[in-house]
Amino acid sequence: MERLQKVIASCGVCSRRKAEELIQEGKVKVDGKIITEMGFKVSLKNNIEVDGIKIQQQDKEYYILNKPRGVVSTARDDKGRKTVIDLIDTDKRIYPVGRLDYDTTGLLLLTNDGKFANDLMHPKNEIDKVYVAKVKGIAKAEHVIPMQNGMVIDGIKIAKAKVKVKKTDFKTNTSIVEVIIHEGHNHQVKKMFEAVGLEVLKLKRERIAFLTLKGLTSGKYRKLNAKEIKQLYDFVNHKK
């Protein structure tokens, strides 16, 4: 027997966090009864419905996508915008592991493996997420040090980041800055720069753990191979 939200996630419906939201909203039924209790335990022998659709175990799939601008990192969008799911040819109910903003580009993982997604997103596992930002202004020590020391953004204490100025251009008054974080708060990297007085003009995620965008142009994707999947699981388990 497993917790209801874990079973929903393991069946590829959504992430565990989203499953908890659906349970709280009364959108999950077990054997015909609406369940709103977080600790409720079930097995796949139970009849579990999410939004009226019966869930079932499915083969796991794992993708790496080079997300382009103008695409939202959700499974569905109520505004009718193109989603990252629209870019991938699969009949499985996959969803993104975390999010990239509408105008942020770069590496995004997608899967129907809820445990995998939850482990990768959890800050305690300290999975590197590497971003490269083009910012307006000349990045100096006075900007970098606060981000390296940890900040408070929207009342939340943000962990220390690794920050490196890669290039400055005095003619255009811009800088290229690399930022490595482990968390994934809403608009975190942009807000970090905003807090130190630098405006983000472009933002791209170039790496998660050991995975890069090598060989993937904007909008293209591929499946992770068995070796990469095992490496990610080994990496996460080593961090625990």
CB 67 within 8 A of CB 106: yes
Q: Given this model, what pLDDT does residue 55 score?
A: 85
Q: Cα(154)–Cα(198) distance, rounded to whole angstroms?
A: 17
pTM exceeds 0.85: no
Q: Is residue 216's pLDDT more than 80?
A: yes
For the chain, which domains are there?
A: 2-54 (3.10.290.10), 62-123+211-239 (3.30.70.580), 128-208 (3.30.70.1560)
Q: Given this model, what pLDDT does residue 6 score?
A: 86
Q: Cα(232)–Cα(116) distance, rounded to whole angstroms?
A: 9
Active-site residue (options: 51, 89, 101, 113):
101
Q: Given this model, what pLDDT does residue 63 score?
A: 97
Q: Given this model, what pLDDT does residue 15 score?
A: 77
Percent of the chain at pLDDT > 70 equals: 99
Q: Given this model, what pLDDT does residue 43 score?
A: 86
209 Ramachandran zone, left/alpha/beta (phi>0; psi -120 to 50): left
For residue range 218-228, list pLDDT tens digits in order: 999 999 999 99
For 62-75, letters b (16+ CB in 10 Å) and e give: bbbbbbeeebbbeb
In the residue annotation, 169 being an active-site residue is answered as no
> What is the pLDDT averaged over residues 201-212?
96
Q: Cα(41)–Cα(56) distance, rounded to whole angstroms?
A: 16
Q: Given this model, what pLDDT does residue 239 score?
A: 59
For residue range 62-91, list pLDDT tens digits in order: 999 999 999 999 888 888 899 999 999 998
Q: Given this model, what pLDDT does residue 16 score?
A: 82
For residue range 86-123, list pLDDT tens digits in order: 999 998 889 899 889 999 999 999 998 888 888 888 87
> What is the pLDDT averaged over residues 163-180?
98
Q: Which two tokens stand for residue 17?
A: 């966090």
CB 187 within 8 A of CB 203: no
The more confidently predicted of residues 130 and 59 is: 130
Strand bridging mode 105-111 / 199-208:
parallel
Q: Given this model, what pLDDT does residue 240 score?
A: 55
Residue 157: pLDDT band with limits 50, 70, 90: very high
Which residues have CB under 8 Å from 26's CB, separation 6+?
A: 34, 36
> What is the pLDDT averaged over residues 156-179?
96
Q: Given this model, what pLDDT does residue 1 score?
A: 86
